[in-house]
Chain A
């Protein structure tokens, strides 16, 4: 088997998806591609099952909030080909008051909690997720704390309203 490298991955993805998959960059040799929410499940399924790619290990799912961008949420998938030891990062930019993206749980069971965590922090809704609830924060919390507009500290605190702390 030939050694898999980033160029082969790019070629295979272009061949299969054409313009739907854009190559963003290769920071520190980690190929980063971007796609749309409508085709993310196809892309993930393809890179997982394709005989030459076989990115069969889901390392991580997370999201990033870019409040100043037009599409303000980026869902980031890290997948890993354990046999050839190559990683691939797939980004999906989405927007809207409730950013929505299909769930990867049909492909990997491990996606379940990763997506719940992402929902909990950013409010990204994963369609088709079997049990999309908050996971780390309290159920009563009504905000998505990792969004940039929310402060780190509890805004309801009174004990720090102090001359010396200056607030």
Chain B
């Protein structure tokens, strides 16, 4: 018996030889199950991400088989580890290089809030410079927690409307961070 399970089809109208549903749902389904991660690993959480990618936990099971080290081809930016102020412009540049649609997971306490490093040199959470979709708590989070973060993001991706990236709200969000929008 194969253990492969198929992704559940979105709700729609089914008949002989056809299946009708909204385009949003189909694309969301496809996107959610083929998220290409860009691991932006700086410190400890990066080591846990290594375990997440490794054989025991295997992030690839959730459609993230290929870690894309080029921001151009990545969908999901996983920021793992402390982001120092020296690093902040680099992170922002990596984010702006990513093509829309793009999602961000802040993995670990440091990326989410600066963690235990409340110092002059550490950025107090990456949401000061880029918008974040999912926060994963922990210092470092267990691989299960990172996987859970990815699954949470999949839910977000599945339910995102195709138009979201063109809405004025989204543009205002990016503008708040001083990031130029490239699609309009």
Within the assembled complex, what's the spacing in Å between the Cα atoms of A136 and B119? 14
CB neighbours (8 Å) of A157 from chain B are 124
CB neighbours (8 Å) of B120 from chain A are 145, 150-155
- In the complex, the answer to whether B119 meets A154 with C-beta atoms within 8 Å is yes
Among B85, B118, B119, B124, the residue within 8 A (CB) of A138 is B85
The 8 closest A-B pairs by CB, nearest first: A154-B120, A138-B86, A153-B118, A152-B119, A145-B120, A138-B85, A137-B121, A153-B119
Query: In residues 104-124 of chain B, which contact A (Cβ within 8 Å)?
Result: 118-121, 124
The 8 A CB mask of B50-92 against A (1 = contact, 0 = none) is 0000000000000000000000000000000000011000000
Chain B nearest Cβ from A72, distance in angstroms: 21
CB neighbours (8 Å) of A19 from chain B are none
CB neighbours (8 Å) of B86 from chain A are 137-138
- In the complex, the answer to whether A159 meets B119 with C-beta atoms within 8 Å is no
In the complex, which range does the number of interface residues on chain A fall in? 10 to 19
Chain A nearest Cβ from B95, distance in angstroms: 20
Within the assembled complex, what's the spacing in Å between the Cα atoms of A150 and B118? 14
Q: Name the residue on B nearest A155 (C-beta).
A: B120
A159-B124 in contact given A137-B86, A138-B85, A138-B86 (Cβ < 8 Å):
yes
CB neighbours (8 Å) of B118 from chain A are 152-153
Q: Name the residue on A nearest B118 (C-beta).
A: A153
Q: Give the interface SS of chain A, mostly helix, strand, loop or mixed.
A: loop
CB neighbours (8 Å) of B119 from chain A are 152-154
Query: In residues 131-162 of chain A, which contact B (Cβ within 8 Å)?
Result: 136-138, 145, 150-155, 157, 159
Within the assembled complex, what's the spacing in Å between the Cα atoms of A141 and B145? 36
Within the assembled complex, what's the spacing in Å between the Cα atoms of A157 and B86? 17
Q: Name the residue on A nearest B123 (C-beta).
A: A154
Query: In residues 107-153 of chain A, which contact B (Cβ within 8 Å)?
Result: 136-138, 145, 150-153
- With A145-B121, A150-B120 known, 6 other A-B pairs at CB within 8 A are A138-B86, A152-B118, A153-B120, A154-B119, A155-B120, A159-B124
Within the assembled complex, what's the spacing in Å between the Cα atoms of A137 and B87? 11
Within the assembled complex, what's the spacing in Å between the Cα atoms of A152 and B121? 9
CB neighbours (8 Å) of B124 from chain A are 154, 157, 159
Q: What are 6 A-B pairs at a CB distance below 8 A?
A: A138-B85, A145-B121, A151-B120, A152-B120, A153-B119, A153-B120
Within the assembled complex, what's the spacing in Å between the Cα atoms of A151 and B119? 9
Within the assembled complex, what's the spacing in Å between the Cα atoms of A116 and B44? 26
Within the assembled complex, what's the spacing in Å between the Cα atoms of A145 and B121? 10
Q: Name the residue on B nearest A159 (C-beta).
A: B124
Within the assembled complex, what's the spacing in Å between the Cα atoms of A153 and B117? 9
CB neighbours (8 Å) of A138 from chain B are 85-86, 121
Chain B nearest Cβ from A74, distance in angstroms: 23
Q: Name the residue on B nearest A154 (C-beta).
A: B120
Within the assembled complex, what's the spacing in Å between the Cα atoms of A153 and B120? 5
Most chain A CB within 10 A, of B86, B119, B120, is at B120
Within the assembled complex, what's the spacing in Å between the Cα atoms of A83 and B86? 41
Within the assembled complex, what's the spacing in Å between the Cα atoms of A137 and B122? 10
